[in-house]
């Protein structure tokens, strides 16, 4: 693996939901301005791992983490870590597009407003910049006041990306962002991700192996051996390596479609 600057470092991470161990001893680095894909069969804990990266798992009652996750060298699970600040630096896009039941403008302005930015001109500028960045501006510029829920699924998902971009995060986490979308919308999101990686560090969970192969620079393969066992990281490396010369037979079986 080349010597690249890393943005996040996951060290000996285990995740528990009450007594159940969902992840065990995960070690990996997330590289700056690259797209990292997390793949693996259902229930292997890839979404859980993603949700550890901005502590969304804190919302699950009984969730507990061991090990460390560093963002620019600082442990995000350290006592006194400002969750609000963390989640602004590490934004998240969810599986199902989830725009707020508000206008398109208010959706994008939600994050900046939380930071206390209230000026109309200021907000308008942020909203336009974010929507342009999310490749949605041309489609919605004349209807910013309309409800976001009137948009198509693909547009809603790009709106959710714009909403995250508006708070100027450093890392963007995407949890199967295309699983509810049609192929054309999916392609748009993928094109968008390719553009965004110039400025952002991106981690994407996907069920779709072609998608991982198409968009990502690095791929992590997670799996569970048996039901009830924790998810483990089997192999992590450059996407091309993983897909053409997997070192672990389990990875090979998975990507060639023999199980999962």
Partner 1 sequence: MNPKTADRLASAVLWMLGGITLAALIFVVAQILIRGLATALNPSFFLGRPRAFQEGGGVLPMLVSSIYLAVWTLVIALPVSLGAAIYLAEFARTGSKAAAAVRFCADSLASLPSIVFGLFGMTFFVIYLRWGTCLLAGACTLALLNLPVLMRSAEESMRAVPATYREASLGLGAGRWRTVRQVVIPSAMPGILAGTVLTVGRILGESASLIFVMMLVTRKTPSFNPLSNAAPLASNIWYTQTEAIIPDYRRVVDGGAALLLLLVLAVNLAARSLGKAYSRRKGVKTANA
Residues contributing to the site for partner 1 (CB under 8 A):
54, 56, 59, 61, 83-88, 91-92, 94, 96, 98-104, 106, 110-111, 114-115, 145-150, 160, 163-164, 167
Calculated CA dihedral for residues 70, 76, 81, 83, nearest 10 degrees: 130
146 or 256: CB nearest partner 1: 146
Residue closer to partner 1 by CB (options 160, 213) is 160
Minimal distance, residue 98 CB to partner 1, in Å: 4
Q: What angle do CA 57, 107, 197 make, to 5 degrees?
A: 65
Q: Which is nearer to partner 1, 148 or 205 (CB)?
A: 148
CB of 251 to partner 1, least distance (A): 30
For residue 74, list its beta bridge partners: 71
Cβ 95 to partner 1, closest distance in Å?
A: 9
Cα–chain-centroid distance for residue 43? Answer: 17
Using the minimum distance from each CB to partner 1, give the nearer residue, 133 or 250. 133
Could you tell me how many residues make up the chain? 260
**Residue placing its CB nearer to partner 1 in the complex, 163 or 232:** 163
**Direct distance between the N- and C-terminal alpha carbons of the chain, in angstroms, rounded to an integer:** 27
The DSSP secondary-structure symbol of 101 reads S
For 116, residues 6+ apart whose C-beta sits below 8 A from its C-beta are none
Cβ atoms within 10 Å of 55's Cβ, excluding its own:
18
CB of 86 to partner 1, least distance (A): 8
In sequence order, what are the beta bridge partners of 221?
39, 235
Task: Cite the DSSP H helix spans in the chain.
Answer: 46-52, 83-89, 104-114, 120-133, 137-140, 153-165, 183-196, 209-215, 239-244, 249-255
Q: Tell me whether residue 173 or residue 213 sits nearer to partner 1 (CB atom).
A: 173
Smallest gap from residue 140 Cβ to partner 1 (A): 13
């Amino acid at each position: 693996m080349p010597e690249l600057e890393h943005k996040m470092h996951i060290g000996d991470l285990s995740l528990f939901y009450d007594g159940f161990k969902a992840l065990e001893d995960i070690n990996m680095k997330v590289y700056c301005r690259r797209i990292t894909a997390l793949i693996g069969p259902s229930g292997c804990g890839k979404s859980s791992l993603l949700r550890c990266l901005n502590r969304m798992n804190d919302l699950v009652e009984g969730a507990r983490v061991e090990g460390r996750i560093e963002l620019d060298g600082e442990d995000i699970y350290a006592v006194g870590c400002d969750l609000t600040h963390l989640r602004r630096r590490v934004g998240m896009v969810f599986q199902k597009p989830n725009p707020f039941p508000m206008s398109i403008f208010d959706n994008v302005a939600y994050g900046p407003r939380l930071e206390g930015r209230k000026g109309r001109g200021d907000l308008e500028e942020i909203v336009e910049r974010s929507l342009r960045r999310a490749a949605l501006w041309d489609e919605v510029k004349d209807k910013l006041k309309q409800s976001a829920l009137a948009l198509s699924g693909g547009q809603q998902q790009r709106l959710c990306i714009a909403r995250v971009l508006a708070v100027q995060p450093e890392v963007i986490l995407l949890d199967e962002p295309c699983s509810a979308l049609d192929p054309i919308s999916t392609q748009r999101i993928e094109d968008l991700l390719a553009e965004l990686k110039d400025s952002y560090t991106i981690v994407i969970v996907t069920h779709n192996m072609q998608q991982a192969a198409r968009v990502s620079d690095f791929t992590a393969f997670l799996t569970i051996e048996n039901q009830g066992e924790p998810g483990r990281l089997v192999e992590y490396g450059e996407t091309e390596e993983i897909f053409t010369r997997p070192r672990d037979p389990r990875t090979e079986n998975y990507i060639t479609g023999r199980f999962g």
